[in-house]
Amino acid sequence: MVLRIVQSKEYTEEIIQDVFVKIWNAISQYDSSKGKFYTWMINIARNTAIDYLKSKGFQNELKNQPLPDFVYNSAELSTTNNSSDFIGFRNVLKGLEVDKQELIDLAYYQGYTQNEISEKLKIPLGTVKTKMRNALMKLKDLLKDYQ
């Protein structure tokens, strides 16, 4: 999950270390009645990766990095590698309409907020919220077989 969001092995290792520290420090906050432990950990990892991407330090590193190295690393670590998709989530996502797949990708893998998605796709915020809710409800139905 972290590698898919950050697309860099170096940054992924650093973020995963932070994730384990956060899990260790917040273990008392886990509530099994609200969901599975694995899901709780994945959410911490996802949020930490997105926070890292949005941090000023990371943005400055990207500005200071030579373009050829950055392009090379991005292509080498592209998330189109099927081996990182161990539960077949890409196949599950294909059960959604294309516009809803794009919303899920922007929100959950690229870390966009609903306001940012609205601006990027040039559609009203209310439409983004409605489509996102519909997409998540459809995903919930599609994922029932994986529970």
Cα–Cα distance between 108 and 46 in angstroms, integer?
Answer: 8
Residue 87 has what pLDDT?
56
Structural domain containing residue 125: 85-147
Report the domain count for the chain: 2
User: How many angstroms separate the CA atoms of 143 and 104, rounded?
Assistant: 14
Boundary of a domain, candidates 79, 94, 119:
79
- pLDDT, averaged per 10 consecutive residues of the chain (147 residues), comes to 82 90 93 89 90 72 53 46 54 81 83 87 90 86 71
Which domain CATH number covers 112? 1.10.10.10
Output the 3-class SS for the chain. Answer: CHHHHHCCHHHHHHHHHHHHHHHHHHHHHCCCCCCCHHHHHHHHHHHHHHHHHHCHHHHHHHHHCCHHHHHHHHHHCCCCCHHHCCCCHHHHHCCCCHHHHHHHHHHHHCCCCHHHHHHHHCCCHHHHHHHHHHHHHHHHHHHHHHC
The CA–CA distances, whole Å, from 103 to 9, 33, 106, 137, 138 equal 25, 29, 5, 13, 13
For residue 97, the model assigns a pLDDT of 85
Residues 27 and 53 in one domain: yes
pLDDT, position 24: 94
Q: What is residue 3's predicted lDDT score, i.e. its pLDDT?
A: 84
134 and 98 in one domain? yes
> So what's the pLDDT on residue 50?
86
